[in-house]
């Protein structure tokens, strides 16, 4: 499975309805699970981003679809990065010529 790190900010609507945020996150986790993925970590953060979510998913296409579906509801904006494990990192670096 691929790993993704999402940096998330609430939109104006999202922060106005912040008390609904836990239910929205539960809905996201269920959708991710239904797609064959899972949440590895969740952090409420202080600073530039409001939340960081680390997930695993079956494919880049599935991850993109789920992130777009979630963001289209208007409560969050996301910046998502594909992440590589240490083993993958070492394999990638070993191929550098």
pLDDT digits (tens, 9 = 90+) for 56-81: 999 999 999 999 999 999 999 999 99
Its domain, for residue 83, covers 2-94
10 beta partners: 76
Q: Locate tokens 């992130």: which residue?
A: 67
Q: Is 53 exposed, middle or buried (0-12, 13-18, 19+ CB in 10 A)?
A: buried
User: How confident is the model at residue 12, as a pLDDT?
Assistant: 97
User: How confident is the model at residue 64, as a pLDDT?
Assistant: 94
User: Where residue 66 sits, what CATH number does that domain have?
Assistant: 3.30.70.260
Sheet holding 76-83, edge to edge: 38-44, 51-57, 2-10, 76-83
With 0.95 as the threshold, say if the pTM is over it: no
Q: What total of structural domains would you count in the chain? A: 1
The DSSP result for 4-64, as a single string, is EEEEEEE-HHHHHTGGGHHHHHHHHHHHHHHTT-EEEEEEE-SSS-SEEEEEEES-HHHHH
User: How confident is the model at residue 83, as a pLDDT?
Assistant: 98
pLDDT digits (tens, 9 = 90+) for 23-62: 999 999 999 999 999 999 999 999 999 999 999 999 999 9
């Amino acid at each position: 499975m691929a790993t993704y790190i999402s940096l998330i900010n609430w939109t104006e609507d999202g922060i106005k309805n912040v008390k609904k945020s836990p239910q929205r996150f539960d809905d996201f986790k269920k959708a991710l699970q239904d797609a064959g993925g899972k949440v590895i970590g969740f952090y409420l953060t202080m600073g530039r981003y409001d939340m960081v979510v680390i997930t695993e998913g079956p494919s880049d296409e599935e991850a993109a679809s789920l992130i777009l579906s979630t963001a289209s509801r208007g409560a969050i904006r996301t910046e998502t990065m594909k992440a590589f494990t240490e083993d993958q990192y070492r394999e990638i670096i070993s191929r550098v010529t």
